[in-house]
Amino acid sequence: MHGTAHPVLRCGSKHTLDLSRPHVMGILNMTPDSFSDGGRYNTLDGALRRAEQMQAQGASIIDIGGESTRPGAAPVSAQQELDRVAPLVERINRECDLIISVDTSTPAVIRETARLGAGLINDVRSLQRDGALDAAAATNLPVCLMHMRGEPQTMQVDPHYDDIAAEVIAFLQERMTACAQVGIAAERIVLDPGFGFAKNTQHNYELFQRLPQLLELQRPLLVGVSRKSMVGNVLKQPVDQRLYGSLALAVMALERGAKILRVHDVAETMDVLKIFNAVQTAAKE
């Protein structure tokens, strides 16, 4: 598995994720202000129907977020985030047979959603909030660590890198070390380069080109580029017209070793994944 020694993630008591093959993670934002689908699914019934739809389309994981992390997004309180996310985690856990990822940096949300059935903690801040490392360690769940500098409100203010791949690798290595110190073993960790977070368009594409270098860290890679500005800035297209660009990057992410694709458009990405798998399988025969 591209140099990773632990191809199976144990996602709570009910699920495992076999990362000897790639998977699609469907995005489900319980926020009114997310950049692509804010407000579309933030009722409990609507969100559940969307989760069921994405599962039927082939998603292995649903990623639920209650705090927008788009550039310039305002922070929300822990209680507000819990109120948005916890009821949906509980209901999907009860009614759907799929892995629930919770997109959160908040210790209280990490602990409560793990209790309610979450199978993965996906943190854009790499467990840097006070108490987040200990909260994640206590859940025994896998965690996804993402590269970002600053906060969503400030991260796009003139970001600079001397060697973006090396600096992203160094940051993720440091966060893995911090995890190890609280008992989060390497086999529980997934890594996300953080496309669109504290990076301009040039940074994003250079990092994408050099994605295989991140495999040196020996952990599975999650790539999230769906509908992002790195697509829009090249195509000169608004958010709702970035599907084909997103799919092009999905193929290239798979070729560069990504194991989880975090996307809005599950059915279309599954078509890409099936063709990718057909080529991979043919090459082995």
Q: Domains along the chain?
A: 8-284 (3.20.20.20)
Strands 143-146 and 8-11: unpaired
Can you give the pTM of this predicted structure?
A: 0.92
| Residue 205 in this model has a pLDDT that exceeds 50 | yes
Total residues belonging to the chain: 285
Q: How far apart are CA 225 and CA 166, in angstroms?
A: 20
Q: How far apart are CA 21 and CA 276, in angstroms?
A: 11
DSSP states of 35-63: TTTTTTS-SHHHHHHHHHHHHHHT-SEEE
Catalytic residue positions, numbered: 228, 262
Q: Which two tokens stand for residue 188?
A: 């529980």
Q: How far apart are CA 100 and CA 121, in angstroms?
A: 9
Q: How far apart are CA 95 and CA 118, in angstroms?
A: 13
pLDDT tens digit sequence for 116-164? 999 999 999 999 999 999 999 999 999 999 999 877 767 677 789 999 9
Of the chain, the percentage scoring pLDDT greater than 90 comes to 83
pLDDT tens digit sequence for 14-55? 999 999 999 999 999 887 744 445 456 668 898 999 999 999
Q: Which two tokens stand for residue 118?
A: 């979450």
Q: Say which residue, 149 or 2, is predicted with more confidence.
A: 149
Residues 150/129, Cβ–Cβ less than 8 Å: no
Task: Give the pLDDT confidence score for residue 206 in this predicted structure.
Answer: 98
Q: How far apart are CA 166 and CA 63, in angstroms?
A: 28
pLDDT band for 229, please (50, 70, 90 cuts): very high
For the chain, helix, strand, coil in percent to 5 are 45, 15, 40
- Of 202, 215, 232, 222, residue with least CA distance to 70: 232
Burial of 276 (0-12, 13-18, 19+ CB in 10 A): middle
